Amino acid sequence: MFDQKELTREIESYLIANQETIYRLAYSYVKHPEDALDVVQESIIKAISSVNTLRDSQGMKSWVYRIVVNTALDFLRKQKRLVVVDSETISTYIDEPAAGYEEGSDLDLASALEKLPPAERGRIILRYYEDLKIEEVALVLQENVNTTKSRLYATLKKLRVQMEEPMEEIKHG
């Protein structure tokens, strides 16, 4: 068990080591660099001031992600902005082509992701771009694991349909 000072140091080290990932996560929600920095800054303050809510350092990643996601969603509610993920944002998440990669498929994916509501898009980003386990996504989003699974698979099905639509248009066009 950590004492509060030691846990605070652990959190600070984690935040510094993962600052780019945390920024990308915030940016994926708010879509403006300055706003993302504001969300990150507010998230850091929240994390440090609520260190007593973290039970152990094992769950730190999902705990920090939950703070960032909630802070970003609060920010969006206050700003009442429409959040759209553009292809530039998606390309920052795509490090290298996956097996079966087709030229242009990242643009199809970006386009399909743009059409998703923020909650669904966030679920996809957390699971596949931030590489969180489903249990961690559930923790971040404060959902039941089964709820997260069913919503994730429903969103994947929706993405698949959206990505197949342009192919159908090409075949029949």
Q: Which tens digits make up the pLDDT trace of 53-78?
A: 887 778 888 899 999 999 998 898 88
Banded pLDDT at 95 (limits 50, 70, 90): very low
Banded pLDDT at 91 (limits 50, 70, 90): low
- Structure tokens of 145? 């694991």
Sign of CA dihedral 117, 147, 165, 130: positive
What domains appear along the chain, each with residue ranges and CATH number?
1-83 (1.10.1740.10), 85-173 (1.10.10.10)
Checking if the pLDDT of 85 tops 70, the result is no
148: nearest Cα among 87, 92, 69: 69
Query: CA-to-CA distance for 41 and 122, rounded, in angstroms?
Result: 20
Question: Letter for the amino acid at 92?
Answer: T
Tell me what the mean pLDDT of segment 86-103 comes to: 50
Is residue 37 within 8 Å of residue 87, measured between CB atoms?
Answer: no
- Lowest-confidence segment of 20-34, 44-58, 83-97, 129-143 by average pLDDT: 83-97
Checking if the pLDDT of 81 tops 50, the result is no
% of the chain beyond a pLDDT of 90: 30
Query: CA-to-CA distance for 5 and 25, rounded, in angstroms?
Result: 27
Query: CA-to-CA distance for 27 and 88, rounded, in angstroms?
Result: 11
% of the chain beyond a pLDDT of 70: 77
Check residue 22 and give its pLDDT.
Answer: 95
Predicted TM-score (pTM) of this structure? 0.64
